[in-house]
Amino acid sequence: MKENQDIKNSPIIVKLPILISLTLAGGILVGATFFGGHNKMAGVTKGFNKYREVLSLVETSYVDSVNTDTLVDYSIKKMLEKLDPHTSYFSADEAALAKAPLEAGFDGIGIEFNVFNDTVYIVSALPNGPSSSAGIKSGDKIIKVNGASLTGPKVTNAFIYSKLRGQRGSEVKLDILPYGEKTLKTFNVTRDRIPSYSVSAGYMIDNQTGYIKIDRFSETTYDEFKNTLSDLKNANMKRLVLDLRGNPGGYKDRAEKIVDELLGGEKLIVYTDGKGTQYDSQTFTKRDGIFEKGALTLIVDEGSASAAEIVAGALQDNDRALIVGRRSFGKGLVQMPVNLSDGSELRLTISRYYTPSGRSIQKPYTLGKEDEYEKDYDQRSKSGEFYSADSIKFNEKLKYRTVGGRTVYGGGGITPDVFIPRDTTMFTKYLYELLGKNIIREYALDYANDNRKALEKMTFKDFNKLFVITDAMLSDMQKLARRSDVKLRENDFNRSKPYIKTQIKAYIARNIWQNKGKNGLNNEYFQVMAQMDETLQKSLTYIDKAEKMARGELVETISHNSRKQ
């Protein structure tokens, strides 16, 4: 690892906690040999004995009955609040839910659903999946599952998942009201493994430019990315836009492998630094990647975190990609998952991520003041950081150099090379009400089902070029909104009209052309929405800078232009 000898961070050392996990029968001490020696454990043993004594007294002598498991879970969570913002504890049920988005799939019936007016509508049934094979189609309503009603205000996403998901091979009885019919039909569906995808789009913007969007870094992300990248390269892609907006992170090694496909030579990707050397590591590129040359633009925003920031930091510090958008989240603490005996999980911070130039990705925080940490988003908005490059401030004490000699700054998150402000002009209260009640999506589903035969005669290319959302269609959508108690706000509607029209069209395209052998890619939706994506459109105007960077030229960035303090 090569560090800049003149400019470097002084890492903040966070004392690691020892988890005390208690059960009704007594106490289990986790980590005596794992985290430290005898002397360090003396204080922990004293504290453990005190805690066990209090818990025993509550159990045996407190005036009312208590749920000791609940008390233990609560006390662990409150203890961890005194540490960094990302050390956390999950009960067994919470741990299962937290892991689900990163797993390769789940056992279920293979549908995508939409809750509209307290009723579950099927948006799509996975081709060749359990529901599709049973004859269930988009637009159908699920009324009951194994006799339990799936209508009414109690129908939340969590409730629906609890009823539809289950062990592979198990059977579930569905009472379905088919689209356009008035008589219930019963379907017996056998649950199966349903694949989960994390690369949501991968298509050619033009005859040279490819676009890939990664939603998270899950078990299958690298394979999905590699396959998509290969397809685009075979389509004569010369330059790539990689979109990591809103990506909360996930598996570190998947992020590193993706960097390795884009960055040539033996280059440092990321390193970690913890207490002592036990959790210190360095990761370098080591294979011949698919797209190591050619212009590369990477889009990030305030929702890009953790593993997404590893990718952005590695490509920026090695002068491989032009980073555009807004400053990323700033989550640079490494958590180690520790599975506890009752199925619960501790995610313990053991080290920090650093970019190749030596920047800590983690934004500042004060121990035990999680509320302040969580207000960072609001502070960025109030300071104008989302809207103006002039609002971005740099700390001269945290100055670093990229491999090519460009100036970059630490202080939390990855600051882009090119700033693109948020565009909120079309986001009105009326639009938020439509989105909150799934009005636009439901209208588009109905329209697609009513006009499916005519739409399927078109190619998506012709649809995207020629199909127009008419005023009559907007009027029908407004009627649907009024039936759902969303009152028309004329001024809001006029402001939001271009966005509403585009999203209706995008959802129609999704309902007609998605899932036709494309491994979970939602290209049609994103291609339609691209015309309203101000950040994407502006990023394409900076392709020339990305091309200069790909040729090894030094390009001007906001780090060189902005006022500093």
Check residue 39 and give its pLDDT: 59
Place of tokens 């407004």: 478
> Are 289 and 395 members of one domain?
yes
* Cβ-contact 328, 386 below 8 angstroms: no
- pLDDT tier at 363, thresholds 50, 70, 90: very high
Do 548 and 526 lie in one domain? The reply is no
Q: Give the pLDDT confidence score for residue 518 in this predicted structure.
A: 62
- Cβ neighbours, 10 Å, residue 323: 26
Residue 383 or residue 468, greater confidence? 468
**Per-residue model confidence (pLDDT) at position 560:** 53
Count other Cβ atoms within 10 Å, centred on residue 268.
21
Compute the average pLDDT of residues 497-505: 98
pLDDT at 10 over 60: no
Q: Is residue 481 part of a domain?
A: yes
pLDDT above 80 (res 16) = no
User: When comparing pLDDT for 439 and 394, which is higher?
Assistant: 439
Average pLDDT rounded to a whole number, residues 439-462:
95
Q: Are residues 156 and 239 in the same domain?
A: no
| Residue 100 falls inside a structural domain | no
For 244: left if phi > 0, alpha if psi spans -120 to 50, otherwise beta; the answer is alpha
**pLDDT for residue 212 is more than 70:** yes
Give the model's pLDDT for residue 38.
Answer: 53
Render pLDDT for 55-68 as a digit per residue (tens, 0 to 9): 999 999 999 998 98
Report the pLDDT value the prediction gives residue 517, as an integer from 0 to 100.
54
Average pLDDT over residues 436-456: 94
Residue 519 has, within 13 A of its CA and on its CB side, a CA count of: 15
Mean pLDDT (whole number) for 217-246 = 97
pLDDT value for 200: 95
The pLDDT assigned to 559 comes to 62
User: Is the domain of 356 the same as that of 484?
Assistant: no
Q: Residue 172 is part of a domain; what is its CATH number?
A: 2.30.42.10
Lowest mean pLDDT among 28-37, 61-70, 117-126, 515-524: 28-37
Top pLDDT among 102 and 47 is at 47
Place 345 in a pLDDT band, splitting at 50, 70 and 90: very high
Q: Please check whether residue 357 is in contact with residue 408, taking contact to mean a CB–CB distance below 8 angstroms.
A: yes
The answer on 395 and 260 residing in a single domain is yes
**Among 177, 195, 213, where does a domain finish?**
195
Q: What is the pLDDT of residue 516?
A: 55
**In the predicted model, what is the mean pLDDT of residues 21-43?**
42
- Looking at the fold, whether 253 and 398 belong to one and the same domain comes out as yes
> How far apart are the C-alpha atoms of 150 and 159, rounded to whole Å?
9
Question: How many C-beta atoms surround the C-beta of residue 565 within 10 A?
Answer: 7
Note whether residue 455 is domain-resident: yes
116 with 259, same domain? no
Q: Is 25 helix (H, G, I), strand (E, B) or coil?
A: coil
Q: Tell me the per-residue pLDDT of 479-492, one tens digit each, with 9 for 90 and over.
A: 999 999 999 999 99
> What does pLDDT average to over the chain?
87
* CA 135/CA 189 separation, integer angstroms: 10
In 10 A of CB 288, how many CB atoms? 9
Q: Same structural domain for residues 292 and 178? A: no
Q: CA of 6: how far to CAs of 2, 71, 359, 399, 402, in Å?
A: 12, 51, 13, 10, 13
Confidence of residue 116 (pLDDT cuts 50, 70, 90): confident
DSSP β-ladder status, 141-145 and 119-125: antiparallel
Asked which of 119-128, 431-440, 518-527 is least confident by mean pLDDT, the reply is: 119-128
Is residue 93 in some structural domain? no
* 150-202 pLDDT tens trace: 988 888 888 888 899 889 999 999 999 998 889 999 999 999 988 889 999 99
What pLDDT sits at residue 20? 28
Contact yes or no for 282/307 (Cβ under 8 A): no
- Whether 10 is covered by a domain: the verdict is no
Pair (227, 215) in one structural domain: yes
Per-residue pLDDT band at 22 (split at 50, 70, 90): very low
Q: Using CA atoms, how far apart are residues 199 and 316, in angstroms rounded to an integer?
A: 22
Q: What average pLDDT score do residues 218-223 get?
A: 95
Q: Is residue 341 part of a domain?
A: no
Q: Is residue 14 part of a domain?
A: no
Say which range, 79-83, 239-243, 327-331, 438-442, has the weakest mean pLDDT. Answer: 79-83
Say if residue 318 is in the same domain as residue 207.
Answer: yes
Number of domains in the chain: 4
Strand partners, 189: 172
Domain end marker among 164, 195, 226: 195
Among residues 151, 175, 195, the one where a domain terminates is 195
132-141, 170-179, 412-421: the lowest-pLDDT one? 132-141
Mean pLDDT, residues 235-258 taken together: 96
Looking at the structure, tell me whether residues 397 and 286 fall in a common domain: yes
Where in the sequence is the domain holding 134, given as residue range(s)?
105-195
Residue 468 above 90 pLDDT? yes
- Average pLDDT (239-268) is 96
Angstrom distance (rounded) from CA 38 to CA 15: 17
Sign of CA dihedral 59, 62, 64, 69: negative
The predicted pLDDT at position 369 comes to: 77
63 in a structural domain = yes
> Quick one: pLDDT at residue 388?
87
Domain match, 72 and 132 both: no
